[in-house]
Amino acid sequence: MKNLIEDRKSSIPISELNEMARNNLKWLIDFSETKYNDEIHVIANDIVYDRKPFVLLAGPSSSGKTTTSYKISEELAKRGKQSIYMSLDDFFINRENTPKLPDGQYDFENFKILDLDAFYKCIDDLINKHETELPIFDFVTGRRKKETRHLRITKDHVIIIEGIHALNPELIGTNTDFFYKIYICVYTDFIINKQSKIPAKLLRFMRRMIRDIQTRGSSIEHTINMWNNVCAGEEKFIKPYRETAHHMFDTTHPYELLLYSQYLTPLLEKNQHLAYAKELYEKLQFCDKLKQDCIPENSLLWEFIVKGVDIEKLY
């Protein structure tokens, strides 16, 4: 199993994954976590070496951007480099001004959701004055708050900017020399047999379903109904710029599929009338199950599974 994962990171047979979870779960978890953390170490070293003041971290929905940003910040601190985190979400325009799709739904993947003038001003202030006032977006009201966050830096600080549109060339303009760019995603497929698999995109979908149920009060139906629009937005606004990144990596933790099998199977069983639900439910029947108590304290996976929340009670 070890050589299989190392040599074919983009394709893992579920039968082999199940066998490893039954016979050597500790190794499987350690391997998954180490693979991810090793990428963070490489990136932190690159940032220190390149001496660029800004880091742009992009990726599609549920790729793990927030946790990855904080982990890079932690690794930079170990190398004596101070850093500050900024989210592009705080530069969202008010919800009533958000572009809409033909079906009337808000197009949250659209690049025009960002207030570019406010972003440019903050970046210019940080470069020239070493301080700025950052906006704060309230997702409950769908509007920018009146208060701001004062940010002061030194010339030695690294500013980590995270968001789905972080690599869009319109965002950084002509200041390309100031930015180190990272793209993260889920690239690993899980193979059931020669005719069937759980593709990487479905793993992100499972991450998002579990996260939305626990943290955003969203029903599984709501998340499923949004997914096609989310994917279409990614193809149009996010993926075209991934090749511009200095570093790309896969945030898949092989054992996470077995966690989602545990927590999503009952929900999917009750909602098989929904798009994707029946297909995914049937595919998860090939997967063993793990509970969240096996997840290490500092794992990326806590971005999607909320620690201490009894997921079964949400069914």
Residues 23-80: tens digit of each pLDDT: 999 999 999 999 999 999 999 999 999 988 899 999 999 999 999 999 999 999 999 9
CATH number of 2-314: 3.40.50.300
CA angle 54, 58, 62 (to 5 degrees): 140
For 248-294, write each residue's pLDDT tens digit: 999 999 999 999 999 999 989 988 888 888 999 999 999 999 999 99
d(CA 24, CA 5): 14
User: Structure pTM?
Assistant: 0.90
Q: In what order do the strands lie in the sheet with 11-13?
A: 11-13, 189-193, 196-198
Most confident of 27-36, 126-135, 241-250: 27-36
Assigned token pair, 86:
């900024």
pLDDT number for residue 2: 43
Cα-based distances in Å from 277 to 23, 141, 195, 269: 30, 31, 19, 8
Percent of the chain scoring above 90 in pLDDT:
68
> 92-96, 181-185, 210-214: which range is least confident on average?
210-214
User: Which residues 6+ apart lie within 8 Å of 168 measured at CB?
Assistant: 58, 111, 237, 241
The answer on pLDDT for 164 being more than 60 is yes
Place 142 in a pLDDT band, splitting at 50, 70 and 90: confident
